[in-house]
Structure 1
Amino acid sequence: MADVADDARDWPTGRLLSTAARLVEHAWDDALAAHELTHSRVVALHLLLDGPTTQRDLARRAGVEEQTMGRVLRGMEERGQVARARDSADRRRTLVSVTDAGREALRTATGLSDEDPVLRVVEGTGSDPRAFRAALLALVQHFAARRWPDAPDGLDAPPDAGSPS
């Protein structure tokens, strides 16, 4: 691994950023797995905080296929993190809602992110973690607005359909 770190000094910024993002995502996945969570479940739980909605809407907002969201929801339902019920206004529709167990799972995930190892690494470089987060947010907002110019807020736009969330 030392060779990769040494070689990385000559990499373009975009390659450094995308490699860092993948490595951080792997670390995040490992931390979540220790609590029987996945990145996809955390995304769905977060979206469900807005209130009950359909599987189709969740999939659209998460930027995944409806079938993919169905698999995610099945796993969450087995763990008691979500519940499905017929929509009283339209009995043909099924609404998905977060349960107390789902809220607790999301609190666990939030607690894991509060212990963010990325920010500890940033602190170790002598940089300000708040400034680092602000710079990341600026990058996300800038490139999301370019990617989804019609979205009211670039952060609300879903990633490409079919990509894992």
Structure 2
Amino acid sequence: MPLDPSTWPTGRLLSSAARRIEREFNAHLDAWDLNHASLPVLVHLAVQDHSQRELAAATGVTEQTMSRLLARIERLGYVTRKPHAEDRRRHVIALTEQGARVLREAADRERSEAMVARGLTAEEMRELRRLLTALVAAHPDPSDDDPAHPPRHR
């Protein structure tokens, strides 16, 4: 395939841009030992406490994957796991004060927008957002209403 991106199929362009921005965003999140998978968990927990099963369903991962992710962010002090009051087989996952602080810092909208907007004018950025919104609307996904991606962070 040619190296000139202007000759690439649109799907490859979109995928390549998304991967590059995701790598840059993960490098940003690395300052807090987070990644694109752990940040939505903190966002969910900022709204309310959840069980591991609820978090897995809300973020679209398996319970086993969520278990590993929670163990990691629990070691970092961002969440706590406590037995459920009525059902000792379940655990309640809660965001700690440190986790809330890290979420505010790591999910800073201006910094995230700057990563995406680099190389674009303000008008081009508005047009990109308009086109991406149209694409998202044309390709619905159950996670579209996911509080892990609240409108203020888009």
Counterpart amino acid of residue 119 in structure 1? A
Percent of matched pairs sharing the same residue: 37
Name the residue aligned to 1:22. 19
Is the aligned partner of 1:122 residue 2:111?
Answer: no
Name the residue aligned to 1:108. 105
Distance in 2 between residues matched to 1:82 and 1:49, nearest whole Å: 10
Structure 2's unaligned 5+ residue stretches are: 147-154
Is the aligned partner of 1:139 residue 2:128?
Answer: no
Residue 90 of structure 1, CA deviation: 2.4
Name the residue aligned to 1:161. none
Residue 130 of structure 1, CA deviation: 3.3
Residue 137 of structure 1, CA deviation: 2.6
Is the contact between residue 43 and residue 62 of structure 1 (CA under 8 Å) also seen in structure 2?
Answer: yes
Matches within 5 A, 1:4-153: 4=3, 7-111=4-108, 113-115=109-111, 116-123=114-121, 127-144=123-140, 148=141, 151=142
Residue 117 of structure 1, CA deviation: 1.8
Aligned residue pairs total 143
Counterpart amino acid of residue 83 in structure 1? T
Residue 50 of structure 1, CA deviation: 2.5
Local SS of the residue matching 1:37: coil
Name the residue aligned to 1:156. 145
Counterpart amino acid of residue 142 in structure 1? A
Cα deviation 1:5-53 (Å, max 9, x = unaligned):
xx21111111100111111111111111123221111011012123111
Distance in 1 between residues matched to 2:55 and 2:73, nearest whole Å: 13
Local SS of the residue matching 1:15: helix
Counterpart amino acid of residue 131 in structure 2? A
Distance in 2 between residues matched to 1:100 and 1:137, nearest whole Å: 34
Residue 141 of structure 1, CA deviation: 2.8
Residue 74 of structure 1, CA deviation: 0.6
Structure 1's unaligned 5+ residue stretches are: 158-165
TM-score by length of 2: 0.82
Distance in 2 between residues matched to 1:106 and 1:131, nearest whole Å: 29
Counterpart amino acid of residue 60 in structure 2? G
